[in-house]
């Protein structure tokens, strides 16, 4: 999976280039989960299975430009992360990556 997604009216922040690790692609496939659905949730500010402190940190990241992390439990029980990089010196977020927690 490799596509580019700029900020749209439903996204709360720009996603940059969207990529996934091979293990994340396999996990999504095994769970019958559409990556676009999780990406839509992430970009709308649905942070998934995070504690309140991490959700609050993401909300702050929308303002200060820090990294944004969502965590979703797949139908198989496996967890997948969606991480959007912090803004660069020009205020751009270069990429959003699907990966498994153990790959971080």
Contact between 99 and 20 under an 8 Å Cβ cutoff? The reply is yes
Contact between 27 and 20 under an 8 Å Cβ cutoff? The reply is no
pTM: 0.90
Q: Is the predicted pLDDT of residue 18 greater than 50, yes or no?
A: yes
Query: Which of these, 63, 55, 104, lies nearest to 87 by C-alpha position?
Result: 63
Lowest-pLDDT range of 4-8, 20-24, 36-40, 61-65: 4-8
Q: Is the predicted pLDDT of residue 2 greater than 70, yes or no?
A: no
Domain around 22: 2-103
Q: What gap in Å lies between CA 40 and CA 46, rounded to an integer? A: 9
Give the model's confidence band at 77: pLDDT under 50 very low, under 70 low, under 90 confident, else very high. very high
Number of folded domains that form the chain? 1
Q: How far apart are the first and last CA of the chain?
A: 18
Look at the chain and count its residues: 104
């Amino acid at each position: 999976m490799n596509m580019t997604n700029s900020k749209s009216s439903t996204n709360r922040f720009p996603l940059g280039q969207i990529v996934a690790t091979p293990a994340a692609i396999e996990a999504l496939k095994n769970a019958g989960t559409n990556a676009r659905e999780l990406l839509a949730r992430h970009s709308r500010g649905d942070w998934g299975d995070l504690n309140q402190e991490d959700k609050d940190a993401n909300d702050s990241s929308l303002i200060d430009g820090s990294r944004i992390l969502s965590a979703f439990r797949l139908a198989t029980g496996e967890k997948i992360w969606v991480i959007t990089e912090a803004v660069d010196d020009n205020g751009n977020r270069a990429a959003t990556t699907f990966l498994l927690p153990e790959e971080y």
